[in-house]
Amino acid sequence: MSYGTLQLNAQITEPKDTVVNLDSEKHMHQKHKENHLKFRFDYDLGSVLNNAFLRKFLYGGTIDQKLIDENYDRLQHGPNHIGNTMDFAIQYRRFTGEFLGMHNVGFSTAIEWHLHHDFDFTDDGYSLIMNGNKSFAGKTADLSNTKYNFLQYSQIKLGLFKENEEKHSEYGFQLALNIGNQFEEFAAPHAQLYTDSLGEFVELEGEFEYLESGYIGKNSGLIQGIGAGLDLFYEIEKEHKYKFVFEVANIGFIYWNDNSLEYEAEEHYVFEGIVIDNLFDMPEQLYSTTVNDSLHDYIIANGHRGSHATLTPIELDIWYEHYLTEKISAKARFRHKIFGLYSPYYQLGGTYHISDKYHIGVDANYGGYSKLNFGVSLCMEINDNFVVDIRTRYLMGFLGHKFSGIGGFAQINYKF
Amino acid sequence: MRIKILIIISIILAVSTFSCNKRETHWQTDVLLPIVSSEMGVGDIFGAENIASNPDQSVSIVVEEDIDLLNLDSVINIDDTIAVDIFNVPYTFTIPPGQKVIQKETSSKVNFGKMELVHAKAKRAKMKFYVTNSIKQPLLVKYELFCATKDGAIYEVEERVEAATATEHAYVEKEINLDSYDIDLSGPNKNSFNVIYAKTTVWIHPDGDTANVSPTDTVLIVSTFDEFVPEYAYGYLGTHNLVANASSAIKVFGNFSSGSFDLDNMSAYIDVYNFLGVDLTMEINDFATKNSNANTNISLIHSIIGSTLNMQRASESGIDDYPVYARNYKYDISNSNLDQMVEIMPDSLLVSVSGIINPLGNISAGNDFIYFDKGLDAKIKLDIPLNFSATDLLIEDYASINISDDGIKEGDFNILFKNGFPFDFNLQMYIVDNSNSIVDSLFDDATFIGGADVDGYGIVRNKKDTRLRMKFTNKLLESLQSNDKMLIRAKINSVDQKKYKLYQNYSLDIKMVGDFVYDI
């Protein structure tokens, strides 16, 4: 009986590379000599804003003033995050034993699809959007360091791993062909909006940078960029004693085609209303497009098309699990997403090993796209071939009005 | 086992249901935003194209209206048919292919009415050339129009005419394009007028057989003017009596629908330009302004009315770009009832004239000329210094509105006016339905916009601020959304009913600021 794919901790930081998600109560050599076909779906939504707000903002409903004010109080007077990621992976992992003269090696191959959204905003930005600009009459709203990233890409991965039976360790790598589907980036390193005390004008000034792939839309299968990536991992384990994992995934880039749009400018724009030359000769319509359309048209008109390279968010994951007793283990984790709008993430948790087939866990975590949160996990072996791992990362987000985040992880591991 | 699978499926379904439960997200924000800004200057009221600055930066309305007093189409008349030639032989004989049957030169007199022209140039001209053949062999017909030359070459055309059959004559029609041709109408000996001089030659076509031609065989050639638009004519143009009624639209007062204003120091001139190479006499029978809405006409009271105005002929310059030195006659009509004519805020100018071309006959010995793009033109120039007082002068116009956005909830629109005119404005905006009936008004309260104060020189130095508030209620919003037109009406009165001189920097600045709840 093996629990080769079991993750016992409920957390946001589920390793993306299932090669390192190998946890076992059996010996390492035994574990790796099995072949695995894994399906994994991972969804995260986290923010400083609470779930009651996010639920209505993203899935519909009226956001009342109480909820707006309540969330304003949650802001952290610095970059406030909203992150939303979705990952899907199918991996095949085979232990071959010998390969090119090396011993105790195996290979893995995977197809992965990633959707990455994150947004940084200021307290003033939140207030401006949710309360309107009237509260800023005669004042300046600070919008500096507002950022937005959207990236959707696919990967085809191929890698090797090697096991050291004496040290109970394993290390390996995967190379990835990155297939860029679409991306969009916005950044305002410095920006502010002044509203005249009588509302006679609003004044926007700042530095703005914008990048987008040639196409952004529903056709998520369109290939608009090509790149490469690298995953590395190392783990060491002593059965029922401890386990240490170091993983860095998706070190890479995507080179987008020459239809990509780039815009970078310092703007100083004073809006005094739509100027009508003659009041007695009004235009047919004061406006005919949405602000979003007009802004995008402006960017297209003032930007330039050309190839552009972007870095993929690198996922760094380091964790250590220590068995306090044969049934209970404790775990500490550090995680970070470099090149994403993500704060360092810390997690502490425990797992109760009910039996060889059932494990339940709880954890407390802080950081990432969210603040303090809790999660639970359940891992069970259905038969000798299937292991199912399900967890909520943000248990309190589901249950408590004041918490943030909606996240889930499901993995089915078929061993043969 | 099944229970475990059911648990898993239930969890997945629960998550999916939560994720897919997509309703509309909305919340309310308080918006304080400029919506519209506009600056109404003197040019916006009277039309920028009508405003001229004076040396002291004051402004005048300058109205220039062109009136074409002579319709030149009435001067020239032309008969369509130029010539009809019938060719036949007195006896029967045989003619081999390629041999000439007949050749004839014709000088046809064209009827140009009273005009005796020796030279003309056609802007557009089309002749038609019809040939009917009763000979049983094909013919070759050559038509040479000696009087029509272009770049030194005469016009000529050759045309095949098919053989007649036992029962039917053969027929061919040829269109001759004489655009831009010089047409010498003085005949072959250069001593006549209105003459089209041509030669027609007929052969048995070289491709045919020997023809038996009898006296009953005919070749009929008819030439006509299908279109003749002259560009220039020279000769004696004849004596013509002319009567012309002309009108010209005046747009400068189009924005005003009622009220009155009192003007000072107006001046006006009538400039008449005679571009014709003929002497003429003219009388202005009536010169009036008209306000169609009020159905009011006021005729000029001045000695020029009914007086005979003698005008000498223009002369040719020999310059292609400016071929005519016109004779110019300027008549000052300032000392008249002009102010009354303008104070009715006319929308049109009416002129009635009569005249005689060549009243003394052919005193130029046939050296009259006419360029048909210019005849007898009059320019009416009104110079109206904007130094006036206004009484309930009403400007109004309809504007389209389209408020389809239902996000705007109750609030206010604050409208700030900075008035640089020494005039008070009473402004109201009405929502009107399709039949232009007023449905609602945008302002409930006072709509008075006070005029700016003037200094000791009568000049406005500082604009006067007025703030009006438009309460944006649900009722008003519904009216705006269910109608698509707005009537903007401004009533203007001089401060203290005094006359003020307007300067080019005067303006009424308008800014509309929205202060409302917006439902996103």
Half-sphere exposure (Cβ direction) of A218: Cα atoms closer than 13 Å: 0
Q: Which of A151-155, A399-403, B230-234 has the lowest mean pLDDT?
A: A399-403
DSSP bridge pairs for A56: none
Mean pLDDT lowest among B60-69, B209-218, B306-315, B434-443:
B60-69
Length of chain B: 520
User: A410 contacts in B (CB within 8 Å)?
Assistant: 12
Q: List the single range of A146-155, B203-212, B259-268 with lowest mean pLDDT.
A: B259-268
pLDDT computed for residue B306 by the predictor? 93
The whole-angstrom separation of Cα B423 and Cα B490 is: 11
The pLDDT assigned to B446 comes to: 61
Q: How far apart are CA B275 and CA B312, in angstroms?
A: 10
CA B222 to chain centre: 39
Architecture of domain B28-58+389-519: Sandwich (2.60)
Q: Residue B395 is nearest to which of A64, A195, A280, comparing CB atoms?
A: A280
The residue ranges of every structural domain in chain B are: 28-58+389-519, 62-74+239-385, 81-236
Q: Do the Cβ atoms of B80 and B224 come closer than 8 Å?
A: yes
Nearest to B30 among A132, A201, A278 (CB): A132
- Using a 10 angstrom Cβ sphere, with 0-12 exposed, 13-18 middle and 19 or more buried, the burial of residue B92 is exposed
Contact A67, A52 (CB under 8 A): yes
Give the C-alpha separation, A150 to A341, whole Å.
11
What contacts B154, CB < 8 A, 6 or more positions away?
B144, B145, B146, B148
Confidence of residue B74 (pLDDT cuts 50, 70, 90): low
Least confident of A122-131, A341-350, B63-72: B63-72
pLDDT tens, position by position, A108-126: 999 999 999 999 999 999 9
CB contact under 8 A, B397 and A281: yes
For residue B513, the chain A residues in CB contact (below 8 A) are: 198-200, 273
* CB atoms B32 and A133 under 8 Å: yes
Pick from B30, B31, B488: which is nearest to A279 by CB?
Answer: B488
The radius of gyration of chain A from alpha carbons, rounded to an integer in Å, stands at 25
Inform me whether the pLDDT recorded for A4 exceeds 60: no
Continuous segment of H or E residues that includes residue B109: strand B100-109
B80-101 per-position pLDDT tens digit: 667 777 777 777 888 899 998 8
What kind of architecture, by CATH, is found in domain B62-74+239-385? Sandwich (2.60)
Cβ separation A280–B31 shorter than 8 A: no
A354 DSSP assignment: -
Exposed/middle/buried for residue B56 (C-beta within 10 Å: 0-12, 13-18, 19+): exposed
| B398 → chain A, closest CA residue | A280
Q: Which of A59, A63, A199 sits opposite B34 (nearest CB)?
A: A199
> Which residues are within 8 A (CB) of B95 and not within 5 positions of it... i.e. 6 or more apart?
B101, B204, B210, B211, B213
Per-residue pLDDT tens over the stretch A21-60: 334 334 444 555 678 898 988 888 888 888 888 888 877 8
pLDDT 10s digits, B1-21: 433 433 333 333 333 334 444
- Is B33's CB within 8 Å of A277's CB? no
Determine the number of helices (DSSP H) and then strands (DSSP E) in chain B. Answer: 4, 35
Whether the predicted pLDDT of B445 surpasses 80: no
CB B141 within 8 A of CB B192: no
pLDDT at A185: 92
Per the CB < 8 A criterion, the answer to whether A153 and A223 are in contact is no
**Is any Cβ of chain A less than 8 angstroms from the Cβ of B457?**
no
- A38-55 b/e (C-beta count within 10 Å ≥ 16 → b): bebebbbbbbbbbbbbbb
| Cα–Cα distance for residue pair B300/B332, rounded to 1 Å | 12
| Residue A15 pLDDT exceeds 50 | no
- Token pair 């359309």 is found at A293
Asked if B360 and B280 touch (Cβ cutoff 8 Å), the reply is: no
The answer to whether B394 faces chain A, any CB pair under 8 Å, is no
Interface of B with A in 37-56 (CB under 8 A): 37-38, 40, 44
Our CA-based measurement puts residue A380 at a distance from the nearest CA of chain B, in whole angstroms, of 9
AA identity, residue B140: L
Between vectors from CA B134 to CA B129 and to CA B135, what angle results, nearest 5°?
110
User: Quick check: A60 and B21 in contact, CB under 8 A?
Assistant: yes
Give the residue from chain B lying closest to A412, CA to CA: B8
Query: For residue B225, is pLDDT > 80?
Result: no
Residue-level pLDDT at A275: 78
Percent of chain B topping pLDDT 90: 21
Determine, for residues A134 and B30 on separate chains, whether the beta-carbon distance falls below 8 Å: yes
Over the Cα atoms of chain B, what is R_g? 39
* CATH code, domain carrying A130: 2.40.160
Alpha-carbon gap, residue A350 to A8, rounded angstroms? 8
What gap in Å lies between CA B397 and CA A283, rounded to an integer? 12
Asked if A278 and B507 touch (Cβ cutoff 8 Å), the reply is: no
Angstrom distance (rounded) from CA A200 to CA B478 = 26
Q: By the CB < 8 Å criterion, does B416 face chain A?
A: yes
Size of interface A-B (CB pairs under 8 A): 130
Judge whether A7 lies within some domain. no
pLDDT of amino acid B18:
40
| Distances, alpha carbon A218 to alpha carbons A119, A181, A182, A221, in Å | 20, 11, 10, 9
CB contact under 8 A, A199 and B38: no
Query: Can you tell me whether residue B157 is helix, strand or coil?
Result: strand
Contacts of B26 in chain A (CB under 8 A): 62-63
Residue to mutate among A70, A280, A289, A395, with most B CBs inside 10 A, is A280
**Taking 90 as the threshold, does the pLDDT of residue A228 lie above it?**
yes
Residue B25 to residue A285, Cβ atoms within 8 A: no
Query: With contacts defined as CB-CB under 8 Å, which chain A residues touch B397?
Result: 280-281
For A166-190, letters b (16+ CB in 10 Å) and e give: eebbbbbbbebebbbbbbbbbbbee
Kindly give, in sequence order, each residue whose CB lies less than 8 Å from that of residue B412, ignoring residues fewer than 6 positions away: B469, B470, B471, B472, B514, B515, B516
Q: B435 at the A interface (CB within 8 A)?
A: no
Q: How would residue A153 be classed by pLDDT, with cut points 50, 70 and 90?
A: very high
How many domains is chain A built from? 1
The tens digit of pLDDT for each residue in A165-181 reads 888 899 999 999 999 99
Out of B8, B35, B515, whose CB is closest to A273? B35
Identity of the residue in B4, B27, B414 whose CB atom sits nearest the CB atom of A62:
B27
The per-residue pLDDT for A147 is: 93
Distance from CA of A196 to the nearest CA of B (A): 9
Residue A9 lies in a domain: no
Q: What is the mean pLDDT of residues B129-147?
A: 89
CA A212/CA A204 separation, integer angstroms = 22
Closest CA to A132 of B22, B449, B32, B448: B32
Residues B23, A201: C-beta atoms closer than 8 Å: no
Q: Does B400 touch chain A (CB under 8 A)?
A: yes
Do B492 and B425 meet the contact criterion of CB atoms below 8 Å apart? yes
Residue A287 confidence (pLDDT) above 50: no
Distance from CA of A126 to the nearest CA of B (A): 12
Show residues of chain B in contact with A383, CB under 8 Å.
1
Q: Report the pLDDT value the prediction gives residue A282, as an integer from 0 to 100.
A: 59
What's the confidence (pLDDT) of residue A77? 83
Q: Residue B52: what are its φ and ψ, rounded to 5°?
A: -130, 140
> Which residue, among A391, A413, A351, A356, has the nearest Cα to A25 in the 3D structure?
A356
Burial of B271 (0-12, 13-18, 19+ CB in 10 A): middle
Contact between A131 and B25 using a beta-carbon 8 Å cutoff: no
> Residue A189 — pLDDT band, cuts 50, 70, 90?
very high
Q: How far is CA B130 from the centre of its chain?
A: 39
Give the whole-number percent of chain A exceeding pLDDT 70.
85
**What pLDDT score does A399 carry?**
65
Query: Which residue of chain A is at minimal alpha-carbon distance from B402?
Result: A285
Query: For all residues of chain B together, what is the average pLDDT?
Result: 83
Candidate from B23, B30, B34 with C-beta closest to A201: B34
**Domain residue limits at A77:** 18-415
Query: Top-level CATH class of B81-236?
Result: mainly beta
The secondary structure of B223-255, three-state, reads EEEEEEEEEEEEEECCCEEEEEEEEEECCCCCC
Is the pLDDT at A355 greater than 60? The verdict is yes
Q: Is the dihedral of CA B245, B249, B250, B254 positive or negative?
A: positive
Whether residues A198 and B416 touch (CB distance < 8 A) is answered with yes
For the stretch B387-406, pLDDT in tens is 888 888 888 777 777 666 66
Tell me, what's the ipTM?
Answer: 0.74
What pLDDT does residue B405 have?
Answer: 64
- Residues in a beta bridge with A148: A119, A186
Could you report the per-residue pLDDT of B28-63, keeping only the tens digit for each?
899 888 887 888 888 887 777 778 888 888 888 888
> How far is CA B412 from its chain centroid?
46
Task: Give A-chain residues touching B32 at CB under 8 angstroms.
Answer: 132-134, 137, 195, 199
> Which has more confidence, A33 or B68?
B68
- Residue B81 CA to residue A283 CA, distance in Å, equals 56
Strand partners, B183: B120, B148
* Arithmetic mean of pLDDT, A301-330: 90
Interchain contact, B30 vs A60, CB within 8 Å: no
Distance from CA of B511 to the nearest CA of A (A): 7
Lowest mean pLDDT among B46-55, B67-76, B196-205: B67-76
In-domain check, residue A4: no
Distance from C-alpha of B14 to C-alpha of A35, rounded to nearest angstrom:
32
Per the prediction, chain A carries an average pLDDT of 82
CATH topology match: B62-74+239-385 vs B81-236: yes
Residue-wise pLDDT for B305-355, tens only, equals 999 999 999 999 988 888 999 999 999 988 889 888 888 888 888 888 888
Structure tokens at A65: 């003033």
pLDDT of residue A278: 67
Give the pLDDT band (50/70/90) at residue A396.
low
- Classified as helix, coil or strand, A367 is strand
Of A15-24, A364-373, B143-152, least confident by mean pLDDT is: A15-24
The reply to whether A354 falls in a domain is yes
Strands A274-276 and B25-41, bridge-based pairing: parallel
